[in-house]
Chain A
Amino acid sequence: MEKLSSAGIAWRAAQDIPDGAYVNLGIGFPEMVARFQPEGQHVTYHSENGILGMGPAPQEGEEDWDVINAGKKAVTLLPGASIFHHADSFAMVRGGHIDLAVLGAYEVAETGDLANWRIGSRGVPAVGGAMDMVTGARRVAVVTDHVTKTGAPKLVERCSNPLTGVGCVARVYTSLAVVDVADGRFVLREKLAAVSMEALQAVTGAKLHVERDLRELRVPEGL
């Protein structure tokens, strides 16, 4: 089945970020969203450890290890950046000051529940700031492949893995579609033209509802 690359998913998610927004990107794949910020728009990126105005990674050899992101990777400070302590950083999150959080997912339920911090009860549990982000940010979006590595649906009726948050996800950008969570159901907003409704529904673990404004999911060539 045709599908978007990770870059394609990240590009699509970036197009919805409004000018002037304060945004937190989860560690790993969601960080890629920053690469596709539309030209002429100003987005301020927040990093949980205590930075607003985080810029891209420095050149190799130019790293300052006291300027890192939540994933402990070296980043840079853009003009207008600020630095603050951890309680202020999470007051920004928990106080509803962050406009958008973009995270990855193991599963998203049609109720908006998110599971993204732990698979079952294996290994050393580590939660970080994900639970704060999904309850505190004004809007929570997910970027993910439409299915797991073994082909199982990630969009489901109920999450089987431990929850990160209840009823918190507003929109999911997948490798096949853009799906909103509305009133406890998945509403399909966009899908790849090459993927039929039947094929899409077959790899989705909950009913996809279609409203009149269903559009084609398109990203620039080469992504």
Chain B
Amino acid sequence: MDKSIDSVEAAVADIEDGAVVMIAGFGGSGIPVELLHALVARFRATGHPTGLTVVNNNAGTGAVGIAAMLDAGMIAKVICSFPRSSQPQAFQRRYEAGEVELELVPQGTLAERIRAGGAGIPAFYTATGVGTELAAGKPVETFDGRDYLRERWLKADVALVKGALGDRHGNLTYRLAARNFAPIMAMAATTTIAQVTRLVEPGEIEPEQVVTPGIFVQGVVEVPEPAQEEALIRSGEVA
């Protein structure tokens, strides 16, 4: 078994128009910048993939990563909890022009919907959002005297994540708090592609150090010295 892929271009070549794409990361930490930029380059060259639904905590900053995808015009819908940032113009412009749809989800509900998607749980109940405008249209049920909203699972066609080490079986580790959404998104997608700083042989990651077991990962591509999105934005570079 060898899940390694030779290039980021090859890694994103099969993502189809209209796909639901989970993109790991919180702010700039954990964003798989090289995979996203390969996707933007493919769209600019071929017009595909387009009409994507993107799932992330945020909605891009500056002009790189998800913001570059928004600027390119390949995103139809964003599912996120916090579509604001220090440089939110890419999303703001598309949203205010009515060119991108927003599904706003409380952050914990977003994480749990993704986890539920990966765990085969079609719906669950949570107290989060009860009595607020984000409860609109959601069934309410009372358990032990308290009201809870029913929330649906969230699954994706593709998850793009950023790991530290990855082996040819797809086992992954993460760098510090860049872990954030990656382990649950890897579980919730039909196809998970991980860019990793170092591709290693099976056995080089101690089994007890594996954070995402390879069963959740379909492709691993090595990107040595990956860009860190926040550092990239602060350096003033653009996609």
Instruction: Show the binding face of A for B, using Cβ within 8 Å.
Output: 47-51, 64-68, 72, 77, 83-87, 89-90, 93-94, 113, 124-132, 135-136, 162-166
Q: Say if the beta carbon of B191 comes within 8 Å of chain A.
A: no
Tell me the complex Cα distance, A83–B112, Å: 18
CB contacts (< 8 Å) of A65 on chain B: these are: 28-29, 228-231
Question: Shortest 6 CB-CB distances between A and B: which pairs?
Answer: A90-B108, A132-B108, A166-B131, A72-B27, A129-B107, A65-B230
A77, closest chain B residue (CB): B176
Tell me the complex Cα distance, A223–B231, Å: 35
Tell me the complex Cα distance, A131–B105, Å: 10
Interface size on B, residues (CB 8 A): 52
Tell me the complex Cα distance, A208–B93, Å: 45
Q: Say if the beta carbon of B178 comes within 8 Å of chain A.
A: yes
CB contacts (< 8 Å) of A130 on chain B: these are: 106
Stretch of B9-17, B35-43, B44-52, B80-88 lying at the A interface: B80-88
Could you list 18 examples of A-B contacts with CB < 8 Å? A49-B27, A64-B176, A65-B230, A67-B177, A68-B29, A68-B230, A72-B28, A83-B176, A86-B26, A86-B107, A124-B92, A125-B83, A128-B81, A130-B106, A131-B108, A132-B107, A135-B127, A162-B132
Structural contact, A127 and B107, CB atoms closer than 8 A: yes
Q: Pick the contact of B82 from A50, A68, A94, A128 — CB < 8 Å?
A: A128
CB contacts (< 8 Å) of A132 on chain B: these are: 106-109, 128
Structural contact, B108 and A136, CB atoms closer than 8 A: yes
- B182 to chain A minimum Cβ distance, whole angstroms, is 7
- B152 to chain A minimum Cβ distance, whole angstroms, is 16
Q: Say if the beta carbon of B114 comes within 8 Å of chain A.
A: yes
| Given contact pairs A132-B109, A136-B108, A86 touches B184 in the complex (Cβ within 8 A) | yes
Tell me the complex Cα distance, A90–B114, Å: 12
CB contacts (< 8 Å) of A77 on chain B: these are: 176
CB contacts (< 8 Å) of A127 on chain B: these are: 81-82, 104-107, 134
- A11 to chain B minimum Cβ distance, whole angstroms, is 28
| Given contact pairs A65-B228, A68-B230, A126 touches B81 in the complex (Cβ within 8 A) | yes
| Given contact pairs A124-B84, A124-B92, A127-B81, A136 touches B179 in the complex (Cβ within 8 A) | no
CB contacts (< 8 Å) of A113 on chain B: these are: 131
| Given contact pairs A85-B180, A124-B92, A94 touches B108 in the complex (Cβ within 8 A) | yes
Q: Say if the beta carbon of B183 comes within 8 Å of chain A.
A: yes
| Given contact pairs A65-B29, A86-B180, A162 touches B133 in the complex (Cβ within 8 A) | yes
Q: Pick the contact of B83 from A67, A68, A124 — CB < 8 Å?
A: A124
| Given contact pairs A66-B178, A86-B26, A72 touches B85 in the complex (Cβ within 8 A) | yes
Structural contact, A131 and B83, CB atoms closer than 8 A: no
Q: Pick the contact of A131 from B57, B96, B106 — CB < 8 Å?
A: B106
Q: Pick the contact of B176 from A66, A89, A165 — CB < 8 Å?
A: A66
